[in-house]
Structure 1
Amino acid sequence: MTGAANPRESDDFRQALDSCVSCGSCQSVCPVYKVSRQEELVARGKLMLLKGYEKGFLKADSQLLEIISRCLLCGRCTDNCTNKVRAMEALREARARLARETGLPFVKRLMIEQVIPKSERLDKLVRLGYLGHPLFKGLLSAQSGLNLSLPGTEGLEKLPRAAGHSYLSLAPRVVQGPKGAPKVAFFVGCMANYLRPELAEKAVALLSRRFTVFIPPDQGCCGLPAVSAGLTLSARELVAGNLEALNRGEPDLIITTCGSCAFALAREIPRLAPETDRKSASLLSAKVREISQVLAEEPGLVQGLARPKGPVAVHDPCHLKLGLSVSEEPREMLKAAGAELVPMQGQDECCGGGGLLPANEPDLAGRIFAPRKEAFAKSGASVLATSCSGCFAQWRRGLDQGTPVVHPLELLTL
């Protein structure tokens, strides 16, 4: 169920292989290379391997897929390339090609193809997580030692407990705003839907002061986990479902609290939508906003709402800053609310939480995160705020137990 190659994706793949001159500009910005110093793990090294694969010198096997998967898909290589090589896009497609040819581990394929896209199955799994949380938390604690036998589970006990019910199962379909207000569609995202429903509730409450908020009940995952795993068909199915659900309400804007979901809606929907829906997908993508973009333009909605928790350091997610050129808006929103912000060295550096790396290579992801933990400690901040769900999980797992890691909205009180 991985799907055939898309001609648009093949263009990126060929362009990258043909255009890379191995200058090494990607070395200076690649988070994986900075901690590994392994040539095959930087973009130019991976592209050299893929040239060998294309020419038949290297076979598609689990070892090659493992190397290609040691990547955050953060986009720094593409952004920094003087030769305009679309390396990240090529590596993303390489995952899809290799997944088709070599297959993926059973559990990963099961989760991404058969659970995440099926809301009723995901609801049941999350409900099980809610009921079994006390047991799972004990089993996965550092003291138990079990997490050492299950790579990728380190720090999971620090994440919020799954909600008893998903946000979408209880949410209203429409929340009326002021008379004649513009209409927005609210995209919830998996993290807010299942682990942080109070974040979704706060977002809708704030937005309804200015907009009428439409909450499509049949929206699903944004598709990024499937894209990162190389399961293109599953990603396309999710894109098609979200495109239909979000367009149904004919919104003026589409707003989400998650920076990575915003990236997926703005960039992946146009790329993965069927040819017949490309125009509709492009129109929809232009309407997408991460919520801080809207609230920074409407400072009156948040003025004086900051809830004192001490100095706050803000982390810029890669998908938000590099993918959508959004970085100052979360800070502008928090300043308008009256929060105390402090600078943090490397606040726009990757935390290691993207591209499924924490699941594929937890030790490598942890080494990438280590400088971020040190920078946070030196900043003098007592709270870390970030708007990406993957970054939230990475910071929550990586910082000491009890250190507040929040979405910027969670620093506001209504």
Structure 2
Amino acid sequence: MTDLFSPVQIGPITLRNRFIRSGANETKNKDMFPTLALRDFHAAYARGGVGMTTLAYIAVSKDGRTLPSQGTMTPESAKHYKVITDAIHAEGAKASAQITHGGSFCQIDDLSTSRCMSASGGLDKMGVLKGRFFQREMTRADMDMVIGEFAEAARLCAEAGFDAVELHMGHGYLLNQFISPLSNFRKDAYGGSAENRVRFPAEVLAAVKQAVGDRLAVLAKINLTDGVPKGATVDDAIVTARALEKAGADMLILSNGRNIESTWAMFGSALPYDELAAMQGTLMAKLQFAVIKRSVPKLPPFRENYLMDHALKLKAALAGSPMKLSYLGGVQSMASAQQAMDQGFEAVTIARALIHDPELINKWQTGASTTSGCTACNRCVAVMYGPSGTYCPVSDNAIDPALNQIYAGEEHQHAA
């Protein structure tokens, strides 16, 4: 059996063990810069024993944000991110930057254009909340611009001390808007078949690989399925995985579901939609979450490793590939993590169980515990929009909200 606490090499880097803290929006940013709260948040995971921790959703451009204050990789912000990567490294872990572009999944007012870009034009489902009813189909010039933005963001990540970049190609963000038949209706070489739909995301990854592949590990987070009829299937995910392997991906993080159409497929359980609506506070948000709540099918009880069957199908199709795969989805115990190892996955990626207890991996390694106290209630998703950003309301481990108002690179820093 593969030891969960043995090192693993991913491209040019080596992790001290097989545990990756998943990217999961922290909202610990101010004016598009990371804060001291974000530093303390990730230093705690590193101190708690993970091999690598992922800073979630760093936009590759101002238009790529999904939320107004969201972290954005720029020459100015890189020095603030360097403070965070230094803190992570001081605790013996590696740091990954999840870089992406929201496309039409966007809740900001200060776009540089009147319409969001996406794989295809048509109704802008998120833009309706901001009075933007339509999105525009990306041109070749748009694609070239975005490819350049990803490559430049990756180069800046290297300067900021990151060890890896993770391109987010799931959950309904821009690159997934190309991959998914739910949002890609193009008639050119970038639409239609699964091979065509992944063409642009593969071009993006290839450019990132060329820019930083000798310095940083290049990862991609993809959907195993979209979770709803007419969405992408595991067979589509296999096509995506093969294209990304050819483009140079060192590892894939295997996720599921879309932010609007199928959040339950992402989390393996329903979100607390009423609490989310209350946190947002606006009438439009309440209406939006009411509609989403009504669309959730009757779900079975939450179970550990709820994406394993899909992940194993993809893994079998990629037998013999040098590209590594990290299992994600309901790992809440040593037993479920070990199951992923026994099935041949090279790493396990965890979010909620670590949000509940950042010390979890150390506890598992020392035998102090073998399971997580996380109940998969998903309330951490609702509170992410509050003044402290993401934390676990059950274990009540919120970081001081005052630290969420101080840029990470400011001189008088709170002791980590």
TM-score computed with the length of structure 1 as normaliser: 0.30
Higher relative contact order (CA 8 A, sep 6+): 2
Select the structure of larger CA radius of gyration: 1
- Which of the pair is proportionally richer in helix? 1
**Higher strand content, 1 or 2:** 2
TM-score of the superposition, structure 2-length normalised? 0.30
